[in-house]
Amino acid sequence: MRPSSLVVVANRLPVDDSVAPDGACEWRRSPGGLVSALHPLLRHKPAAWVGWAGGIGDAPALADIDGVRMRAVALSAEDVRDHYEGFANATLWPLFHDSVEQPSYHRRWWEGYQRVNRRFAEAAAEVAEPGAVVWVQDYHLQLVPGMLRELRPDVRIGFFLHVPFPPPELFMQLPRRAELLTGMLGADLIGFQRAQAAHNFAQLAAKLLDLPATDQRIVVGDRVVRVGAFPVSIDMAEMEALARRPDVVERARRWRGDLGDPQRVILSVDRMDYTKGIEQRLKAYSELLASGQVKVRDTVMVQVAVRSRERVGQYQILRERVEREVGRINGEFGRVGEPAIHYLNHPFDRAELAALYRVADIMAVTPLRDGMNLVAKEYVAARVDGDGVLVLSEFAGTAAEFTRAFLVNPHDLEGLKQTLTQALRATPADATDRMRAMRDHLRTHDIRHWAHLYLTALDDTGSLAARLTTG
């Protein structure tokens, strides 16, 4: 593979090997914030993407996609078990999300995490041209910056964490906490979603590694590692264009009819993940139905919960519980031809998502904790007519930007019910006013703004940022 001047390293490639039997593939967006953020940015840019194609065994040879080189990393069944399902998604994921589920600690998983991180670092070292910028993404690969620096001291290394970075008292639980921090500190710039996360990280670097640290700079030997908040975003123009497409408008109209032309449609779109607050939301909705504050004939709820990380025990349990609860609610409150909740657990393409967002009078995004939450931003982008109401958890990174949403604490069941009721009763003038403020914010803080801020901070010549964020 020819070397590249920009290399993105992420656990997942934006394609999986099932779509590329003959090497010919198209961008197939996997559900998840990381791919949604990076995909529109890299298209037609001179970059390479190092990642896992989702299968087990040999890495498939993938053709370039829209000019971006794909370098798949091979993972064995043990690697997937110990790294992806184990240390990444059963240790770090719950720990970094306020331990809303109990993190598990296993020494074998840590070995797998190190092994797989080394393989990603070697692959990145192989495809980076001399002096390249290598941009490492997310919690699966926190050791890669340090490993890569040893292999390739000539490259400039960025690291961006898409998920929250926890407060010290939680992070301190992690058995291999110092090694994890040291791995991240191999980067020249460490980006977080929120300033609080950067603060948590700096505090830990001082406490655990005894390094001189402020929320902006950490001194590691003769290097200065910069730290900061760079809230990730979406391609607003892409979502707006989709939402305006005649076939999308027509599909939204048809779907509304299929839903029985109710007065109000409430929508939620999540990965099936315990951080997303799906069970709490269902409980609140069920109580609103039971009390008669919401009536099935007037209001319909659509819950999309795309299957995710299905081999991890906590995810299997969640799916069973959610599906049982949806069945119970429909059994109790549905009528013939009128279910109280329409539940869908499969992937949608972008145009279908845009149509769903257009159908939704109210979008309920109520995670218990979320690094950012791009679904909320996609909804706002898709409301090209300037209407629609967003109910948003205070514990999503997005809440720091969308202060005009109906903000809610999803742990507070009564508060959740009240906020949903307020959203259902919002006057058109209030809704439009709030939506206008959120759309104005998003327009100036879209994905190119994010990339520009981050890459200018990483590459002080500014040339990389200019190349990536124009056109």
Q: How many residues does the chain have?
A: 471
Per-residue CA distances from 24 to 27, 65, 411 (Å): 10, 9, 46
Rg (CA), the chain: 22
- Residue 348 makes contact with ligand ADP by CB under 6 A: yes
Interaction mask 375-404, ligand ADP, x per CB under 6 A = x--x--------------------------
To the nearest 10°, the Cα dihedral for 171, 177, 180, 185?
A: 80
d(Cα 345, Cα 155) in Å, to the nearest integer? 42
Matching residue, tokens 């300033």: 195
Closer residue to ligand F6P in complex, CB, 376/435: 376
Closer residue to ligand ADP in complex, CB, 230/333: 230
339 binds, among ligand ADP, ligand F6P, none (CB under 5 to 8 A by kind): none
375 binds, among ligand F6P, ligand ADP, none (CB under 5 to 8 A by kind): ligand ADP
Q: Which stretch binds ligand ADP (CB under 6 A): 121-129, 186-194, 198-206, 373-381?
A: 373-381
Shortest distance (Å) from residue 51 CB to ligand F6P: 10
Shortest distance (Å) from residue 5 CB to ligand ADP: 27
Select the residue interacting with ligand ADP from 269, 312, 364, 392 (CB under 6 A): 269
Footprint (CB under 6 A) of ligand ADP, residues 306-325:
306
Total number of residues that touch ligand ADP (CB under 6 A): 16
Nearest to 191 by CA among 224, 131, 231: 231
Q: Which stretch binds ligand ADP (CB under 6 A): 26-34, 151-159, 385-393, 428-436?
A: 26-34
353 binds, among ligand ADP, ligand F6P, none (CB under 5 to 8 A by kind): ligand ADP
Among 16, 79, 82, 370, the one annotated catalytic:
370
Footprint (CB under 6 A) of ligand ADP, residues 65-124:
none
Closer residue to ligand F6P in complex, CB, 45/276: 276
Where does residue 30 fall: left (phi above 0), alpha (psi -120 to 50 degrees), or beta otherwise? beta
Q: Which residue is nearest to ligand F6P (CB)?
A: 32
378 binds, among ligand F6P, ligand ADP, none (CB under 5 to 8 A by kind): ligand ADP
List, in order, residues 6 or more apart from 437 with CB less than 8 Å away: 404
Two tokens, residue 307: 């299957």
Closer residue to ligand F6P in complex, CB, 47/88: 88
Closer residue to ligand ADP in complex, CB, 96/333: 96
Binding interface with ligand F6P (CB under 6 A): 12, 32-35, 138, 162-163, 308-309, 371
Nearest to 141 by CA among 117, 119, 160, 165: 117
Select the residue interacting with ligand ADP from 13, 144, 374, 382 (CB under 6 A): 374
On whether the CB atoms of residues 32 and 271 are closer than 8 A, the answer is: yes
12 binds, among ligand F6P, ligand ADP, none (CB under 5 to 8 A by kind): ligand F6P
138 binds, among ligand ADP, ligand F6P, none (CB under 5 to 8 A by kind): ligand F6P
d(Cα 226, Cα 266) in Å, to the nearest integer? 42
Select the residue interacting with ligand ADP from 69, 140, 271, 434 (CB under 6 A): 271
Shortest distance (Å) from residue 100 CB to ligand ADP: 13
Shortest distance (Å) from residue 396 CB to ligand ADP: 8
469 binds, among ligand F6P, ligand ADP, none (CB under 5 to 8 A by kind): none
To the nearest 10°, the Cα dihedral for 461, 443, 354, 375?
A: 70
82-110 as b/e: b if 16+ CB within 10 A: bbbbbbbbbbbbbbbbeebbebebeeebb
On whether the CB atoms of residues 380 and 413 are closer than 8 A, the answer is: no
d(Cα 183, Cα 149) in Å, to the nearest integer? 10
Interaction mask 353-372, ligand ADP, x per CB under 6 A = x------------------x
Shortest distance (Å) from residue 370 CB to ligand F6P: 9
On whether the CB atoms of residues 345 and 306 are closer than 8 A, the answer is: yes
Residue 370 annotated among the catalytic residues of the structure: yes
Closer residue to ligand F6P in complex, CB, 71/162: 162
Looking at the DSSP bridge assignments, the partners of residue 229 are 192
Closer residue to ligand ADP in complex, CB, 363/372: 372
Where does residue 406 fall: left (phi above 0), alpha (psi -120 to 50 degrees), or beta otherwise? beta
Tell whether the torsion through CA atoms of 208, 113, 375 and 337 is positive or negative.
Answer: negative
Other C-beta atoms within 10 Å of 232: how many? 26
On whether the CB atoms of residues 259 and 342 are closer than 8 A, the answer is: yes
For the annotated catalytic residues, the residue numbers are: 162, 370
Which residues lie near ligand ADP (CB under 6 A)? 31-33, 36, 269, 271, 304, 306, 347-348, 353, 372-375, 378
